[in-house]
Amino acid sequence: MTTENRLLPWQEPQWRHWQQYVACGTIPHALLLTGPSGLGKLAFAHLVSQSLFCMTPAHELPCGQCQTCRLMPHHPDLHLIQPDQQFIRVAAIRDMIHIINLTSRTWRIFLIQPADRLHTAAANALLKTLEEPTLNTLLILLTAAPHALPATIRSRCQTLAFQPVATTQAVNWLQRQRPQVEDWEPVLTLSGHAPLAALSTLESGRVDQIQTLVENLMTLNAGQIQPMQLVNLWAKQPFARLLDDLTIICHDMMRLSAGYKQRLFLLRVVDKLQSLSANIKPVGLLRFIEQLNQLKRQQHVNLNTTMCVEVLISAWPTLISS
């Protein structure tokens, strides 16, 4: 079995729930998998699909060996419906309905991901399908924002909700994946206790990038770089990530100034963080965090990001008490 088709340890309650449907012969026409991203909802949907396709399941799990298992996740009766740019268009749902209307004795499964990106017309077309279930058809809707879905759609699906994972369980799993990482907790916290998100945070080199920002701010404090040079440097980065990364730095600085050294995201560079925090006024830091939050909220508006970076960098020195 491939890694992504193994049941992730924190998904056992949802898997038991699914098994109850199977055992009682009450497999729903539509499942709604909810929860923040990074919890493996798609892997779970694949496992559910595989368990229906598998010819020789063992111990309530797909065997991973048979002909159909080996086709996963590219089984011809498994269809992934995703946004075309911003939205899932009505044409994609019409294609799905066309396939559903073809006679079949085997399972047809449609994964709609993320379901909150259904365009209004697509949602309406989907609703009709949900109202008239077809034999051997399973729709699996996945979303981190279930309330963005029409209530009429939600009410016609059986919901399996995935929650952020408890620290011990998540850290144990992460340590098995990457034994060389010493301290998973800060990364896990940053990733909203979603273990797969923590894994990709680490692999994307994010921790190193944030450390670079700390070093940038140190050179700014020391007057070794002109504010405009830093503006130019930071304006080249994806703005949303820059805001997130600066927020992480500020939160760590807040923890440090409160004498709370454990669970720092940037534990690795605590010395640098300490010198960066040395003359910072906590009130100023709070105001800076509020400014970051405000910019995050305005991101959907077409902001001039260079100008925003300039505002942030010019606000930074006001945090330092002279």
Which range, of 11-19, 55-63, 182-190, 262-270, touches Zn ion by CB under 5 A?
55-63
* CB nearer Zn ion, residue 136 or residue 200: 136
Q: How far is the CB of 104 from Zn ion (least distance, A)?
A: 19
* CB nearer Zn ion, residue 106 or residue 298: 106
Q: How far is the CB of 51 from Zn ion (least distance, A)?
A: 9
- The one among 61, 63, 127, 233 contacting Zn ion by CB under 5 A: 63
Tell me: does residue 140 bind Zn ion (CB under 5 A).
no
- The one among 33, 42, 54, 210 contacting Zn ion by CB under 5 A: 54
Q: How far is the CB of 53 from Zn ion (least distance, A)?
A: 7
Q: How far is the CB of 163 from Zn ion (least distance, A)?
A: 29
Q: How far is the CB of 64 from Zn ion (least distance, A)?
A: 6
**Alpha helices (H) along 178-238:** 185-190, 195-203, 206-221, 227-235
* Cα–Cα distance measured from residue 203 to residue 222, given in angstroms and rounded to the nearest whole number: 31
Q: How far is the CB of 65 from Zn ion (least distance, A)?
A: 6
**266, 260, 258, 119: which is closest to 189 by C-alpha?**
266
* CB nearer Zn ion, residue 47 or residue 170: 47
**Alpha helices (H) along the chain:** 12-24, 41-53, 67-71, 90-101, 120-131, 151-154, 167-177, 185-190, 195-203, 206-221, 227-235, 239-257, 270-277, 282-297, 305-315
Query: Do the Cβ atoms of 100 and 129 come closer than 8 Å?
Result: yes
| Residues 66-85, interacting with Zn ion (CB under 5 A) | 66, 69
* CB nearer Zn ion, residue 5 or residue 113: 5
* Cα–Cα distance measured from residue 256 to residue 214, given in angstroms and rounded to the nearest whole number: 14
170-185 CB burial, b ≥16 within 10 A, e <16 = bbebbeeeeeeeeebb
Total of residues contacting Zn ion (CB under 5 A)? 5
* Binding region for Zn ion (CB under 5 A): 54, 62-63, 66, 69
